[in-house]
């Protein structure tokens, strides 16, 4: 029973924060209800033939939360824990994330209940193509644009693009982002979320007048986001004293050599277990270390009312989606912990996804310097706006981010509804 509560928590956390911001904005009740609920929730079932000849059925989801600002955009995750409430929360966060950063996308999210580690490459390709075929009328460059998430990457996005193109009889690169470069992917996309987290971390340190060269960091999660966040912050002179992945958590008060750790990780079948130059600690203890910056970059609800009071970090930068549950917000605020919310902190991914979509749509290819400069400009502007609104309304940066996002989406939604209600005149 308890796991069910945890699974539903991300969506409830989103609603809790949404309601605080909506109250401040005095949002009209009909708009409030419309923005809380997804526009579409699609559940698909499909079967594939496994390598051993057996047939297996899979259940997949695609939730389109809102399309007021543009085509819906959001990742697809392959995980045994995928469920509709989680996907609904993630889809809503994508809406707010795009709105906060000024990206002309709506929000969506998808997932398939499976363990990608237990399937061969051939089976993963069949799973991806089966899911794509089932959603071929939902996806589209001007409708709904998927991207990678937990358990997926450039291979899956390439198969999705190819299957969608086969269904429609022509190559359509802009249907998906996060592809390999040879399939129309963008430079800088793989490391975009981690780069964004590092940009936001440096801005937060500046806000508290902390010098990067004297700052310490603990990072929970060493997947794509955690690894690149660690690397970029290490390169900026910060001391990364602790990291973890599913297999192990490590601590070294003198600082970890991140390039060396990445090399070890890549040679050790993509995990950090057994890394020698550090001390193994409990996973939950990493969150409670006395550091300047804590970056939870793994999964939802790792900081709750149970452990929030014991957090010693001065700054939390949310690399993952929803790592701090809503019941922990007040505790952290009362303890003067600056929390930079996920819908700003990890928006680097959707920003460079937007760049990839633009490049595909315009048949262009941008240089890495151009991409990184644009990314930094967008995130800096977003950061400054969030903190200005936080000051104006005397709220946390998280609620400020929700205020900005809700206002923007609500205004656009209202304009669209007025247009729909406008009388239609017959032409002579």
Residues designated catalytic: 109
Whether the CB-CB separation of 368 and 187 falls below 8 Å is answered with: yes
> How many Å apart are CA 66 and CA 94, to the nearest integer?
9
Whether the CB-CB separation of 319 and 221 falls below 8 Å is answered with: yes
> How many Å apart are CA 103 and CA 213, to the nearest integer?
32
- 257: its two tokens: 């050599």
Q: Calculate the alpha carbon distances from 239 to 80, 140, 262, 282, 310 in Å.
A: 35, 43, 15, 20, 22
Q: Calculate the alpha carbon distances from 22 to 18, 158, 240, 336, 406 in Å.
A: 6, 39, 38, 24, 7
Q: DSSP letter at 62?
A: E
Residues sharing a CB contact under 8 Å with residue 239, sequence separation 6 or more, in sequence order:
215, 216, 217, 254, 255
DSSP string, 366-420: --HHHHHHHHHHHHHHHHHHHHHHHHHHT--HHHHHHHHHHHHHHHHHHHHHHHH
Phi first, then psi, for residue 118 (nearest 5°) are: -95, 5
Which of 110-130 are b and which e, b meaning 16 or more Cβ less than 10 Å from the residue's Cβ?
bbbebebeebeeebbbbbbbb
> How many Å apart are CA 176 and CA 57, to the nearest integer?
24
Whether the CB-CB separation of 319 and 335 falls below 8 Å is answered with: no
Helix residue ranges per DSSP H, 248-318: 258-267, 283-286
């Amino acid at each position: 029973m308890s796991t069910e509560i945890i699974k539903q928590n991300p969506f409830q956390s989103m609603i809790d924060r949404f309601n605080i911001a909506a109250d401040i904005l005095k949002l009209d009740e009909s708009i409030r209800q419309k923005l809380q609920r997804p526009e579409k929730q699609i559940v698909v079932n499909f079967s594939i033939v496994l390598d051993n000849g057996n047939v297996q059925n899979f259940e997949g989801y695609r939730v389109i939360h809102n399309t007021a600002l543009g085509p819906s955009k959001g990742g697809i995750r392959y995980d045994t824990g995928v469920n509709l409430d989680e996907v609904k929360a993630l889809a809503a966060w994508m809406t707010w994330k795009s709105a906060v950063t000024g990206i002309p996308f709506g929000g969506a999210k998808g997932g398939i209940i499976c363990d990608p580690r237990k399937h061969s490459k051939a089976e993963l390709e069949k799973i991806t193509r089966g899911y794509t075929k089932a959603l071929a009328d939902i996806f589209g460059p001007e409708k709904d644009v998927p991207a990678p998430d937990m358990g997926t990457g450039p291979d899956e996005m390439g198969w999705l693009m190819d299957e969608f193109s086969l269904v429609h009889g022509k190559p359509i690169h802009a249907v998906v982002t996060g592809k390999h470069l040879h399939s129309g992917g963008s430079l800088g996309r793989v490391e975009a979320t981690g780069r964004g987290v590092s940009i936001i971390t440096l801005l937060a340190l500046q806000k508290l007048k902390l010098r990067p060269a004297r700052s310490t960091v603990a990072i929970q999660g060493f997947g794509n986001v955690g690894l690149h966040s660690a690397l970029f912050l290490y390169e900026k002179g910060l001391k990364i004293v602790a990291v973890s992945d599913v297999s192990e958590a490590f601590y070294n008060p003198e600082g970890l050599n991140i390039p060396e750790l990445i090399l070890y990780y890549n040679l050790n079948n993509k995990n950090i277990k057994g890394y020698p130059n550090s001390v193994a600690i409990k996973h939950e203890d990493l969150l409670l270390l006395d550091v300047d910056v804590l970056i939870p970059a793994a999964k939802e609800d790792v900081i709750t009312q149970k452990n929030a009071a014991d957090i010693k970090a001065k700054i939390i930068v949310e690399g993952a989606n929803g790592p701090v549950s809503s019941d922990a917000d007040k505790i952290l605020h009362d303890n003067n912990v600056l929390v930079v919310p996920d819908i700003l902190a990890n928006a680097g991914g959707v920003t460079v996804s937007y760049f990839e979509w633009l490049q595909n749509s315009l048949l262009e290819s941008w240089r890495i310097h151009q991409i990184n400069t644009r990314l930094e400009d967008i995130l800096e502007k977003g950061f400054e706006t969030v903190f200005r609104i936080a000051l104006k309304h005397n709220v946390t940066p998280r609620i400020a981010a929700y205020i900005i996002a809700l206002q923007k989406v609500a205004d656009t939604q209202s304009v669209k509804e007025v247009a729909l209600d406008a009388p239609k005149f017959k032409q002579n």
